[in-house]
Amino acid sequence: MNAAYKTSEDHFQRLARLLDLEAEAEKLETIRSLEKMSPVEAEAAGSSLINLVIREEDSGMGGKILLTFGKRNENLNLPYSRIGNGSPVILSEEGLQNKNAPSWRGTVGRAHKETIQVAFAQWPETDSDRPTFRLDRSTDEISRQRQRLALESARGAKGTRLAILRDVLLGKQNPVFDKIEIPNPFNKKLNDSQNQAVRFALSAEDIAIIHGPPGTGKTTTLIELMRQIVRNGQSVLAVAASNLAVDNMLERLVDAGENAIRLGHPARVTPALRTHTLDELAEIHPDMKLARKLTRDAHSLRKQASKYFRVKPDPNMRQSLREEAKQLLNEARQIEDSVTERIISNAKIICATATGLDSEIFAHRKFDWCIMDEASQSVEPSAWIPLQYANRLVLAGDHFQLPPTVLSPEAIRGGFNISLMERLLENPKADISRLLNVQYRMHQDIMNFSSDVFYESSLQADETVRTALLAARDLPAVKSSPLTDSPVHFIDTAGASYDEEQEPDGDSKLNPLEAELVIKKVHELLACGLTSDQIAIISPYSAQVKLLREKLKHLDLEIDSVDGFQGREKEAVIVSLVRSNREGEVGFLADTRRMNVALTRARRKLIVIGDSATITSHGFYQRMVEYFEAIGAYHSVWEE
C-alpha cells in the first residue's frame, strides 16, 4: 500500500478542506452564470425556467411534496433546458429574487414538454394569492453533505470494520487475502483474466481492485463477482459514480435473475428499470395506502392553513392546522420507514450511486461487500460514503480514462481530482489489483496505440474483433472501399490553414474548416452503406460539438464531447481535435486520459482529424502520429 499518512486526521482534514473549495467553486460558477443574465437570458441558456405556476399537487415517498409546474400561459410549452430528470433546483417567487427572499430546494421528478414535477421537503409558503415561480438549476448540496459526514465518520471510527478499512486504505495496515475455493462460474464465457479477477476479489478480506481498460468486460466481471457473493449467502452494495452505470449493473443483474433493488429518485432511473426501484416496490406495499391517505390529508390541512392566512387572517387557526398536518406527516413517515426498512433488509443486492446513499435508510443495515464501479471517476470523499455500510471493498474502473470532474483549480492542486482507486495504485508494490487484458470492442490497430501508451502493451484483441472491418460479412450493407477496408485513418491538416477560432461568447474553441472535413467523411461513410446510428463524432471542445450538431441536425448522429461518450462505442468514430495554431498550443488536449477515451470508442473504423504541426508539440501526439505512420494510416488533407 502507499506510505502511511502521519495521521488519519491529516488525511481527512485535507479532503474536507478540498471538498469545501470544490463546493464553493460550484456555487460561485452557478451564481456568476445567473448574475450575468436576465431571467429571459437565463431561460434561453437552459439554466432557468420562468413564469411558472403550480398546476398539480401530490405527495411522494418520505413525506415529499410533489408540485407540477407549467407556464402561466397554458398554450406555451417549456423551452429547452438543462434542468431535467433528477436535477437539483431552487424554487423562488418571481420578482423576489434577492438575498432575503424565501427559496426552496427540490429535485426534479419528471420533465415533460408542457410541465415539470419537482419534489420538495416542505411546502413553498408564499404571501401571494396567485404566485408566479422561477426554477433555477442548483448545486447538489445533499451529496456534498453526505460526503462531509462520510469523511467525519471514517476519521472518528474506532474498533469497527470501518476503522480497519480506513487504516488499510491509508497504509497503516496491510490488506489480508485468504485462499478460497471458487465454484464454477455462472458465466462460462469469461476469459482467464476475468476469472482470475473474480477469484482475487473474493479472496480479499479488505480491498481489491479490478482494473478494466476499454472494452475488457469490466461490468460482465462485476456481475459474475456479485452472483458468486450472493451464492455464498452474502450481501452486496453495488455503487457507481453515475446513474447510467448503476442502471447498467441493475439491468445485467435483473437479466441474470438476481433480486436487486435500485435506490435513488425514480426520475434518475431508466423507465424499463423503475419497477425495481425502492420507491416503486414500496408504493405497491399494502401498508402504503394508509401512508398516502395520511399525506394527502396533511397537504389538505396545509392548504386550509394557507387559505386562512390569505382570506381570513386567523393566526391561531393557521398554527393549529399546521401542527395537525405535521403530526399526520410524521405518522406517514413512520409507516414509510417501516416499509422501506423491511424491503432493504430482505434484499441481497442494493444498487445506487455512491452519493445517493441515505444514512437514515441504512441505519440498521450492513453489507458484506461494497462493489464500486467507475471508481476512477469518483472523488475520494464519494468512496467513503458506501464504506460506512460495508465490510469489504472492491473498486473497479480505469484510472487511465476520465478522472473525476473538479472545477476548483486550488482543489486540483491539492489532489482532489485523484480518486481513491488511483491513489491506491500509485504504489507499485501493493499487490491489490488485477488487470482485465482481453478486449472485445475494437480492431487490434485501433487498440494497440492505447495499449502501448497506457497499459504496457498488455491488451489483447479477442479473436472476434481482432481484424474486424466495416466491409465485412456481418455488415452486408457496407461496400468495400479504401475507407471501409482499413481500421484507422488519420487526416493531417498541417499547412492547409485550418485555423482554430475562439468561441464568440465563451471560452471554448472551434475549427470550421475541420468541421467541414468531418462532415465530408460522414457523408462518405453513409455513401458506403453505414447508417447514421453506426457513426459517432467526438470532439474535446464543446463549441466544435455545437457547430457540428447544428450542421448535421438533419442526420440522427451522436455528436458529443469526450466526457459524454465515456463507456460508449460505435462502429465508426470520427475524432475532431480542433487545435491548429502557430504557437503549438494544445490546451486541454494535454489531458491524455481524455484522449484515451476518444481513441477507444470505435469498433471497426477510427478517423482522427488534426493538425500535426500543432499537436506534435506534445509528446503524446508526436507518438500518436508516428504510430499512425507506422501502420499506414497517415494521410494528408491534400489527398482529400
C-alpha cell at 374: 467507475
- Report yes or no: 228 and 204 within 8 Å, Cβ to Cβ: no
591-612: average pLDDT: 97
C-alpha cell at 140: 447538489
Confidence of residue 550 (pLDDT cuts 50, 70, 90): very high
Q: What pLDDT is attached to residue 63? A: 67
Question: Residue 319: pLDDT above 80?
Answer: no
Range with lowest mean pLDDT among 288-302, 511-525, 559-573, 614-628: 288-302
Higher pLDDT, 344 or 617: 617
Q: What pLDDT is attached to residue 381? A: 98
C-alpha cell at 616: 506534435
Q: What pLDDT is attached to residue 109? A: 81
Higher pLDDT, 109 or 476: 476
Confidence of residue 215 (pLDDT cuts 50, 70, 90): very high
Helix axes 192-202, 218-231, angle to 10 degrees: 40
- Report yes or no: 228 and 180 within 8 Å, Cβ to Cβ: no
Count CB-CB contacts under 10 A for residue 281: 18
Q: What pLDDT is attached to residue 183? A: 77
Q: What pLDDT is attached to residue 606? A: 99
C-alpha cell at 426: 500509485
93, 154, 200, 299, 624 from 305: Cα distances, Å: 19, 44, 61, 10, 69
Reduce the DSSP state of residue 606 to 3 states and report it: strand
Cα–Cα distance, 483 to 639 (Å, whole number): 13
- Report yes or no: 136 and 42 within 8 Å, Cβ to Cβ: yes
Reduce the DSSP state of residue 82 to 3 states and report it: coil
379-384: average pLDDT: 98
Buried b (16+ CB within 10 A) or exposed e, 6-31: eebeebbebbbebbebbbebbeeebe
Closest CA to 5 of 491, 427, 634, 428: 427
Whole-number average pLDDT of the chain: 90
Q: How large is the C-alpha radius of gyration of the chain? A: 27
- Report yes or no: 451 and 568 within 8 Å, Cβ to Cβ: no
Higher pLDDT, 465 or 61: 465
C-alpha cell at 101: 427572499
Highest mean pLDDT range out of 68-77, 95-104, 474-483?
474-483
> Which residues, 6+ apart, have CB-to-CB distance to 393 below 8 Å?
165, 169, 206, 207, 208, 369, 370, 372, 387
Helix axes 141-156, 8-35, angle to 10 degrees: 170
Percent of the chain whose predicted confidence (pLDDT) is above 70: 95
Cα–Cα distance, 246 to 237 (Å, whole number): 11
18-26: average pLDDT: 96
- Report yes or no: 439 and 460 within 8 Å, Cβ to Cβ: yes
Q: What pLDDT is attached to residue 599? A: 98
Closest CA to 469 of 416, 530, 415, 523: 530
Q: What pLDDT is attached to residue 111? A: 81
Question: The cell 413553498 sits on which residue?
Answer: 124
- CA torsion sign, 291 to 296 to 301 to 303? positive
Q: What pLDDT is attached to residue 313? A: 57
Q: What pLDDT is attached to residue 62? A: 66
Q: What pLDDT is attached to residue 83? A: 84
Beta bridge partners of 110: 117
Highest mean pLDDT range out of 284-288, 324-328, 444-448?
444-448
Higher pLDDT, 398 or 323: 398
Residues 252-281 have pLDDT tens digits of 999 999 999 999 877 677 778 888 988 888
Q: What pLDDT is attached to residue 336? A: 82
Cα–Cα distance, 90 to 229 (Å, whole number): 42
Residues 157-195 have pLDDT tens digits of 999 999 999 999 999 999 999 988 877 899 999 999 999
541-561: average pLDDT: 93
- What are φ and ψ of residue 147, in 5° steps? -65, -45
Closest CA to 443 of 431, 427, 424, 459: 459
Cα–Cα distance, 20 to 345 (Å, whole number): 34
Pairing of strands 349-353, 236-240: parallel
> Which residues, 6+ apart, have CB-to-CB distance to 484 below 8 Å?
469, 470, 471, 478, 525, 528, 605
Residues 420-478 have pLDDT tens digits of 999 999 987 789 999 999 999 999 999 999 999 999 999 999 999 999 999 998 999 99
Confidence of residue 510 (pLDDT cuts 50, 70, 90): very high
